[in-house]
Amino acid sequence: MSPILGLIQTLIIMGLVFILAYKYVDIQTKNTHFECPHCRSSFKLPKSSFALALKKNPYERMVTCPVCGYKGWMQIIKDEK
């Protein structure tokens, strides 16, 4: 395989991974919310913050509450439909 084809293949794979990651974050932010353990308010994260939030496991993120400013691990809660 020529080096250029290899490069294009790498770019395509990276693009696909990026699109999948974006879709995942998009679905997660649309269908989930967080509940602040400090003030009990529930809120949604913007996509960018969700993507960049530290994670300990698939269910928890290091999040700052937009209401009271509390920062800590919060569980990702599915929206009720």
Given the rule CB under 5 A, which residues bind Zn ion? 36, 38-39, 65, 67-68, 70
Shortest Cβ 73–Zn ion spacing (Å): 13
CA distance 45 to 13: 28
**Of the two residues 51 and 70, which places its CB atom closer to Zn ion in the complex?**
70
Shortest Cβ 54–Zn ion spacing (Å): 18
Give the E-state strand segments of the chain in sequence order: 32-35, 42-43, 55-57, 60-64, 71-75, 77-78
Shortest Cβ 42–Zn ion spacing (Å): 10
Find where tokens 């679905």 sit.
27
**Of the two residues 30 and 40, which places its CB atom closer to Zn ion in the complex?**
40
**Of the two residues 25 and 66, which places its CB atom closer to Zn ion in the complex?**
66
Residue 30 carries which side chain, given as an amino acid letter?
K
Are 36 and 68 within 8 A, CB to CB? yes
